Structure 1
């Protein structure tokens, strides 16, 4: 599914027509969120978002896991494994395939042991069984099964919360007020939201509640950027917000000649691979995509050619402590969880 364009504009006719359905959906989602969850034996840090689509949750979860690891702790990542077949709980092992565990767990497992489980409580128990000092949960803000010690919401600085309406009238996963009750802090990734009134009101509300707002950016790896410099690019992506990836490439002054977007968590087919490689060959373009997209190709011989000929642009979360809240994100997480956390120096990638 691709996001409707009207989600990211001020409310209009389309959102008004869908408002009755949104009211029903929002009522169900809100009541579900209000339920109490079970408490795990170790702190649970939830990295969530308020909206459908990509905001940068997985890079944030990776950065948070690194913070705890740098403090000498053993974080274990917990994720539903969207797009994979495994119900879990299962620990992501070397050689795991995205079609089994999902694409995001493959990225998380590079920095910390990772458990995939659709049952969050069973997943937490599995994480503790392999020695977790702290559980870093990628997504799950709206899932009430497991009690969160701290919930950090990631907000896309470019799109914010769009028109501020609940699905399908807008991008919100549940009514905003009910979601904010479950939120302890907000991390804005990218440019500060200046667009919609709904987004500005959201940040004002968070600050009035004495909850911190942190700021950061997803910074591309310098070596990867240098390798793409001077080349004519065909960029493609099947993530929550492909345009963000394309904008990142252009922001590095790279020559993006053509783009092609696919639905989030798209499973590439041999026909997709042939189409992309044929266009690149005919027009003298270099293929470039995200690490997450390449993860979904691994283990499929029919996609091996596309995977090996596609460059990737790895990104790392870099925190802006000068613009963000005081204390910094690492010390705030340490205080909220009762664990000592000391990340790298301000401005350093995590």
Structure 2
């Protein structure tokens, strides 16, 4: 029997928060050659909605008029999440839909709508990076996580902004029907499957973005371009034309980290990419990423990622929902 996936849209909804997950579930039907999912778009009153982009979104019905049980309720976000979370009719629809659903998922600012009806209390959750502080302030009982693309806590799922809703939907398809179908869907949609929920929303370079006209930009580019190069403080200071002490001060002032820490993060990110995208031996990955030896790679991964490189590589063959590495 097909699982009903209900996407609860409302005025000012971000259209991709609805259409992205909807396309994932619809493509799963196409790739499987059978109706695994019945995808329906709802609104609190059953009327069509106007998205934040100005696009009008056609709606099937209201939650009250939808017969049968809901397998998965997906609540999209909105740039105007503050108004949305205080909309009584919308909150009532979220609460009613959640009571009828096996699992509930929020995309982006949809987490605020779940919080407004008490679904985030005591739960691990995330949202778009621009809203994380607001989510913590609005719902102090929630366990807000700042890095992941998406989180799972029991039957509650939340995701970061916009396209992360596609990652989350792929993970749900995998949880229901296995990684092979999820890979087929990702391939058809021309998106990456290998973005498990615990992947950071940002690269190291984006986390430590310097000011627009910073003199460090060329230096940072050289580290990213060649992680295995000589990026010790002495070598960096020569290339920057600064004393070592002054360069360290500039790094802390503009990036919030020391030169050594920045280089370390870039090298770990390079190692992650090599593990995710190929089957090179660990000693080769360690050398190419600048981490030196396989033993150093193993040690740094356990310290920074909490997994061995091998376990990390295996996890990147899956989205990681409801699965744990041995």
Q: Into which bin does the TM-score normalised by the smaller protein fall?
A: 0.3 to 0.5
Q: Which has the higher strand share?
A: 1
Max Rg structure: 2
Tell me which of the two structures has the higher relative contact order, counting C-alpha pairs closer than 8 angstroms and 6 or more residues apart. Answer: 1
Q: Which has the higher helix share?
A: 2
